[in-house]
Amino acid sequence: MIQLNNRRETYDEGMTVSSLIKKKRYTHPMLIVRVNGQFIEEEMYAETPINDGDDVKIIHPIAGG
Amino acid sequence: MTQHISPERIQEIKAARQVLKTYKYSPAAVDKGYTNKTLYINISDNTIAEKEITEEIKDKFIGGKGFGLWYLWNAVNKDTKWNDPENEIVISPGPIGGITQYPGAGKSLVVSLSPTTDSVVDSNVGGHFGPLLKFSGWDVLELQGKSEEEIIIYINGNEGAISIEKAPLEELNSHILAEELTALYADDEEDKRNISVVSSGAAAEHAMIGLLNFSFYDKRRGGQRLKQAGRGGIGTVFRHKKVKAIVIKYKGVRGDSNHPADLKKIQELGVKLHKEIHDYDDIQTRKRQVGTANLVEIMNDYDLLPVNNFKYGYNPETWRISSDILKTYVTQNVPDGCWYGCSLACAKACDNFELKTGPYKGHKVLVDGAEYETVAGVGSCCGIFDMDYVFECNFYCDTYGLDTISWGTTVAFLMECYENDIINKDITGGLELVFGNRDAAMELLHQVAKGEGFGKYAGLGVKKLKKRFVAEYGADKDFLEAIGMECKGMEYSQYMSKESLAQQGGYALTNKGPQHDEAWVIFTDMVNNLIPTFEDKAEALHYFPMFRTWFGLQGLCKLPWNDIEPADNKQTDEPAKVPEHVQNYVELYNSVTGKNIDKEELIRQSERVYNFQRVFALKLGFGTREFDKPPYRSLGPATKEEYFSRQDRYDQQLKEKMGIDPEGKSVEEKIALHRQYREQQFEELTDAVYKRRGWTKSGVPTIEHLQALGMDYPEVIELVKPYQ
């Protein structure tokens, strides 16, 4: 399991930031990603692995519709 | 092709005019965002008068809807109803409104007593009227009374001339009326850009959800653009007063027309934001490409797009009404703003749209939109995934003067009633109002405009329809209360709130009703999980409504706040607030007015007006806890089909949130357990929010809080005293 936004989320073998975003259908274009507290640039999503037990934050910095 | 009005038609209209009153004035100069003058017009006796705006009123109410609330408060008493002559329509742009250097500064705020909520309502709108009003010498237009005959009010801000005229021949529907009046008052083609028309339409006479259109002339398209003050039925008030239009003409808008204290600073702030928009809009929200419609597919992906009267949040057919499809309708292929200098330019339009139905069938018209709320409201919420229909419905709602949000939510409610045999073909006059039936929905819209058939009732809005169906057809009241998506009498705007407790409050714990312009915190709550406790949610439901209220005091659009973000916003402490843009607004206000507020005082400015509006509702018999109760569907699954559509999620919630094993329980039992839990959560949220806002448990501002805000007017204190 991993923690995603302080909730339990199933870990998948070979998971990356990109694959997690795709799995969660997070299609909003303005995301803030941190893995174990470290900020991840958008161009690094595909190359950044997520390991079992990681603490991931994928924040949508939006407060207005 | 737009409606081209012949010279003969203009002469015919002019010949039928009869001047009832004229008034000459010396237009007050704008100084630091204010003219310090209110134009008062009473159309019962054709009084036209000027009022001074004092420094105290400016300090307390700032402008925009603050001014509107203050004047309306003084105009009505506790017994005044929306259709009494004493009710007013107050229009004000706010001190920042009218600047051209910073995007999104052309808004007008409209305040009135609402036919749908019976309480005080405010609605914001683009178009050029508000800024032109100010540059014509007026911070506020206060319209009171009721005319016996159809009239038009004309304000010429260059000549300092106002007239009230009988207007028997003008078309009622806005797309033609705005063209007629612009052609009538413009000296030549070039002069058309100096004219703005406020109008409604035929449906507003037969519905409670009428809107006001605010026009501006689109030189490139050679036609009128219409922006809408949609919420709360103010168009219905307008038509009840027998006003066909208010026309303003002012030539001479310049970059310094608002006479700000520090133009150079405003220019600096503007250049910075223009650059952000240039650099990032294409990779952020694409406002310049598709307007607000980018939200359609995003909401669908997050299970937040209302489908079939808010039963569901997703539908695989949504691609048919997505922004990519919308983009194929938008013509001219250039960014498109509704006030000078707005580079965010979200105002999309389609030229030469050929209508397939109704009185203008075969006409090729200019459709302004479609915005997200319209696509979701008349589209997915009604189970209709057809962009042609969306544009046609958008056009007719606008020109007929109907709010697309309320209309969409109302039709969706009717469709669910039809599918549950609460209404049938005998009642609808043969219309098969099932989800997805676009032909029936369109026919119903035309019937509303004509005041015929089932259209005599369909525009009443959800609250009044619920009562009618219970009283006349013996409908199950509890069922209708659960599925009828209104609160306080206003129909919900187009976001699903079932899985966001904070957004449930963002909709229901509001002043005017469930319109997301107070607080939209779904992502922060549901997805980001950044406000897990009641206190966290209450803090969000304090800060964001106050922050967003401020736009309505200033004449500002919300979009440039957070639909474009600086590159380093991601790394700030509170990215959802967009701290750099908040600071922009502080500096913008100071640069216009010459004052020196900080971001805390910005919130206090809103708090004064927000609390005053709450007490205003109290004055009218509302504004207490029972009126903040939402329909259950906004909190959770109200029907079996909703539960089954997300059974895994709901069963899991039973286990994890409520500690209940769903095994062996019927769906009815599980729905009841959810309801008990979710309604209890909402009550606890309500307690927390009221406490944070400085209100009693009954939802009334405490005397101490009003004193601390400096809003302890004697009449205000008298009203709140019994609730302490």
Q: Could you write out the three-class secondary structure of B463-529?
A: HHHHHHHHHHHCCCHHHHHHHCCEECCEECCCCCCCCCHHHHHHHHCCCCCCCCCCCCCHHHHHHCC
Which chain B residues are within 8 Å of A62, Cβ to Cβ?
520, 523-524, 562, 576
Q: Read off the pLDDT of each residue in B89-105 and give the average, rounded to a whole number.
A: 97
* 8-state DSSP, B631: P
Does pLDDT of B339 surpass 50?
yes
| CA B396/CA B207 separation, integer angstroms | 14
Kindly report the number of other CB atoms within 10 A of residue B425's CB atom.
12
ipTM tops 0.85: yes
> Do B294 and B231 belong together in one domain?
no
Q: How many CA atoms lie within 13 A of B645 on its CB side?
A: 16
What is the pairing mode between strands B120-125 and B108-113?
antiparallel
> Do B371 and B483 belong together in one domain?
yes
Which chain A residues are within 8 Å of B539, Cβ to Cβ?
none
| CA A3/CA B690 separation, integer angstroms | 32
Q: What is the CATH number of the domain that holds B188?
A: 3.60.9.10
> Do B268 and B230 belong together in one domain?
no
Nearest CA in chain B to A4: B528
Q: How many CA atoms lie within 13 A of B598 on its CB side?
A: 1
| CA B211/CA B397 separation, integer angstroms | 9
| CA B509/CA A64 separation, integer angstroms | 16
Does pLDDT of A65 surpass 70?
no
Measured between CB atoms, which of A5, A27, A62 is closest to B301?
Answer: A27
Measured between CB atoms, which of A5, A30, A64 is closest to B527?
Answer: A5
> Do B422 and B293 belong together in one domain?
yes
> Do B476 and B556 belong together in one domain?
no
Residue B496 belongs to a domain: no
The residue with tokens 């806005």 is B174
| pLDDT value for A64 | 66
* Percent of chain B clearing pLDDT 90 (strictly above): 96
Measured between CB atoms, which of B520, B577, B578 is closest to A65?
Answer: B520
Helix (H, G, I), strand (E, B) or coil at B601: helix
| CA B198/CA B454 separation, integer angstroms | 28
Q: Do B565 and A30 touch (CB under 8 A)?
A: yes
> Do B478 and B509 belong together in one domain?
no
| CA B453/CA B143 separation, integer angstroms | 33
| CA B289/CA B334 separation, integer angstroms | 8
Q: What is the CATH number of the domain that holds B660?
A: 1.10.599.10
State pLDDT tens for residues B247-302: 999 999 999 999 999 999 999 999 999 999 999 999 998 999 999 999 999 999 99
State pLDDT tens for residues B568-578: 998 898 999 99
| CA B587/CA B227 separation, integer angstroms | 28
> Do B218 and B131 belong together in one domain?
yes
| CA B399/CA B367 separation, integer angstroms | 10
Does pLDDT of B331 surpass 90?
no
- Assess contact for B550 and B606: CB atoms under 8 A: yes
Tokens for B386?
Answer: 């057809």
Q: Can you state the percent helix, strand and coil of chain A, rounding each to 5?
A: 15, 30, 55
| pLDDT value for B334 | 77
Distance, in angstroms, between B538 CA and closest chain A CA? Answer: 14
| pLDDT value for B571 | 87
Which chain A residues are within 8 Å of B527, Cβ to Cβ?
5, 26, 60
Q: What is the CATH number of the domain that holds B334?
A: 1.10.569.10
Residue B71 belongs to a domain: yes
* 8-state DSSP, B692: H
| Torsion B457-B463-B466-B467 (CA) sign | negative
> Do B420 and B533 belong together in one domain?
no
Nearest CA in chain A to B559: A64
| pLDDT value for B3 | 57
| pLDDT value for B1 | 41
Q: Read off the pLDDT of each residue in B664-688 and give the average, rounded to a whole number.
A: 98
| pLDDT value for B369 | 85
Phi-psi sector, B101: left (phi>0), alpha (psi -120 to 50), beta: alpha
The residue with tokens 């800024």 is B131
- Tally of domains in chain B: 3
State pLDDT tens for residues B11-36: 999 999 999 999 999 999 999 999 99
> Do B537 and B664 belong together in one domain?
yes
The DSSP-derived string for B129-184 is HHHHHHHTT-SEEEEES--SS-EEEEEETTTTEEEEEE--SS-SSHHHHHHHHHHH
Measured between CB atoms, which of A28, A32, A65 is closest to B575?
Answer: A32
Which chain A residues are within 8 Å of B519, Cβ to Cβ?
63
Give me the phi and psi of B193, to 5 degrees please: -70, -10
Does pLDDT of B2 surpass 70?
no
Q: What is the mean pLDDT of chain B?
A: 96
Distance, in angstroms, between B653 CA and closest chain A CA? Answer: 13
Q: How many CA atoms lie within 13 A of B693 on its CB side?
A: 34
Residue B285 belongs to a domain: yes
State pLDDT tens for residues B392-402: 999 999 999 99
- Assess contact for B559 and B551: CB atoms under 8 A: no
Distance, in angstroms, between B339 CA and closest chain A CA? Answer: 21
Pick from B515, B496, B548: which is nearest to B123 by CA? Answer: B515
Nearest CA in chain B to A61: B576
Which chain B residues are within 8 Å of A55, Cβ to Cβ?
none
With cut-offs at 50, 70 and 90, classify the pLDDT of residue B451.
Answer: very high
Q: Do A39 and B562 touch (CB under 8 A)?
A: no
Q: Do B548 and A64 touch (CB under 8 A)?
A: yes
Mutate which: B373, B516, B523, vs A, most A CBs within 10 A: B523
Does pLDDT of B335 surpass 80?
no
Domain boundary among B470, B491, B512: B491
Residue B121 belongs to a domain: yes
> Do B476 and B509 belong together in one domain?
no
Q: How many CA atoms lie within 13 A of B392 on its CB side?
A: 23
Q: Which domain holds residue B465?
A: 263-491
Pick from B458, B405, B409, B457: which is nearest to B311 by CA? Answer: B409
Kindly report the number of other CB atoms within 10 A of residue B444's CB atom.
23
Which chain B residues are within 8 Å of A2, Cβ to Cβ?
none
| pLDDT value for B364 | 96
> Do B559 and B450 belong together in one domain?
no
Residue B254 belongs to a domain: no
Q: Do A61 and B527 touch (CB under 8 A)?
A: no
| CA A25/CA B311 separation, integer angstroms | 20
Mutate which: A9, A20, A55, A60, vs B, most B CBs within 10 A: A60
Q: Read off the pLDDT of each residue in B513-534 and give the average, rounded to a whole number.
A: 93
Measured between CB atoms, which of A5, A39, A63 is closest to B562?
Answer: A63
| CA B702/CA B535 separation, integer angstroms | 19
Domain boundary among B491, B524, B557: B491
Q: Read off the pLDDT of each residue in B77-101 and give the average, rounded to a whole number.
A: 98
| CA B307/CA B329 separation, integer angstroms | 23
Domain boundary among B428, B459, B491: B491
State pLDDT tens for residues B407-446: 999 999 999 999 999 999 999 999 999 999 999 999 999 9
The DSSP-derived string for B313-337 is S--GGGGGGSHHHHHHH--S-S-B-
Bond preceding residue B370 cis, omega within 30 of 0: yes
Distance, in angstroms, between A1 CA and closest chain B CA? Answer: 16
Q: Do A63 and B576 touch (CB under 8 A)?
A: yes
Sheet arrangement for strand A38-40: A7-9, A2-4, A55-59, A32-35, A38-40
> Do B477 and B375 belong together in one domain?
yes
Structural domains of chain A, with CATH: 2-59 (3.10.20.30)
Residues of B with CB under 8 A from a CB of A: 283-286, 295, 297-298, 301-302, 372, 493, 495, 516, 519-524, 527-530, 532, 540, 544, 548, 558, 561-563, 565, 569-571, 575-578
| CA B496/CA B678 separation, integer angstroms | 15
- Assess contact for B123 and B231: CB atoms under 8 A: yes
